[in-house]
């Protein structure tokens, strides 16, 4: 793959000095993180657990909370700093959904619950994006299953979270559960930009896994007759400043 004989693949670099220099410069379009802020918040939830209809006298026991997921993020307000150009104060609303696992004395049960947070970011560098990104789809019926909301100025506010439940207490007779939901947040201000970066080229195609159970399409599944393609992307254009292209 490379004249230095090094195998270049994705992963953690332990000895970066052992790698050869990149072989190309590429222009990529990505959401660039201009600034990010870390903060924490905690709310106390009170949940009435539902009993299974067959049991007249359940004995409840809390077994944990899992599957925390951010289901809503709203920018309530965005205020420009009076002293630092490009900096803003943000007020955000974040809603997190999770599952409560418990027992009624006989069966294992699950119940969904939600916790909401009102976050204030005192200062974050969040400049207005100069260029606006527009995409034309060739097929109006195409749906990629994703959605993205951005402000009028082109900036994206992204929230990442690590959540856990603790300080739980439950009434075993009524199923009244109280617990604290603590969350570590990272709030990012992003803008879609083009960056010129050094590259080792396209990622190599990974080795094909064996699939001995395949019975149909014998010609296609014969690796000798139809080998797995080693190339999934077009060639990168040559840089006219590169002397090797002269």
pLDDT in tens, 106-120: 889 999 999 999 999
What local confidence, expressed as pLDDT, does residue 54 receive? Answer: 67
Is the pLDDT at 201 greater than 90? The verdict is no
- Residue 84's alpha-carbon distances to 37, 80, 201, 238, in angstroms, are 16, 8, 40, 42
Is the pLDDT at 101 greater than 80? The verdict is yes
Nearest one of 177, 147, 159, 164 to 118, comparing CA atoms: 159
Is the pLDDT at 237 greater than 70? The verdict is yes
Are 155 and 147 in contact, with CB atoms under 8 Å apart? no
**Tell me, what DSSP letter sits at residue 5?**
-
pLDDT in tens, 142-172: 333 333 445 666 789 999 999 999 999 999 9
What local confidence, expressed as pLDDT, does residue 23 receive? Answer: 84
- How is 149-169 classified by DSSP, letter by letter? ---TTS-EEEEEEEEEEEEEE
Place of tokens 């929230």: 159
Are 181 and 162 in contact, with CB atoms under 8 Å apart? no
pLDDT higher at 136 or 192:
192
Between CA 14 and CA 36 the distance in angstroms is: 26
Is the pLDDT at 42 greater than 70? The verdict is yes
- Residue 141's alpha-carbon distances to 110, 137, 144, 147, in angstroms, are 37, 9, 10, 15
pTM over 0.85: no
What local confidence, expressed as pLDDT, does residue 131 receive? Answer: 65
Q: How many residues are present in the chain? A: 246
């Amino acid at each position: 793959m490379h004249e230095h004989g090094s195998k270049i693949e994705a992963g953690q670099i332990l000895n970066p000095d052992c790698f050869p220099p990149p072989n190309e410069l590429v222009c990529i379009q990505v959401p660039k993180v201009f600034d990010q802020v870390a903060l924490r918040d905690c709310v106390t939830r009170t949940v009435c657990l539902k009993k299974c209809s067959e049991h007249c006298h359940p004995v409840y026991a809390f077994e944990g909370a899992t599957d925390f997921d951010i289901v809503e993020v709203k920018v309530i307000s965005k205020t420009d700093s009076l002293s630092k150009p490009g900096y803003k104060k943000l007020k955000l609303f974040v809603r997190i959904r999770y599952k409560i696992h418990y027992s009624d004395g006989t069966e294992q049960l699950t119940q969904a619950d939600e916790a909401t947070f009102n976050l204030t970011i005192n200062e974050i560098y969040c400049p207005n994006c100069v260029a606006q990104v527009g995409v034309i789809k060739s097929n109006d019926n195409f749906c990629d299953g994703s959605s993205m909301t951005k402000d009028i100025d082109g900036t994206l506010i992204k929230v990442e979270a690590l959540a856990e439940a603790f300080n739980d207490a439950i009434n075993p007779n009524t199923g009244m559960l109280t617990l604290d939901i603590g969350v570590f947040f990272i709030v990012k201000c992003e803008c879609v930009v083009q960056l010129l970066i050094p590259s080792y080229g396209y990622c190599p195609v990974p080795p094909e896994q064996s699939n001995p159970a395949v019975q149909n399409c014998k010609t296609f599944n014969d690796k000798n007759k139809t080998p797995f393609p080693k190339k999934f992307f077009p060639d990168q254009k040559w840089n006219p400043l590169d002397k090797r292209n002269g």
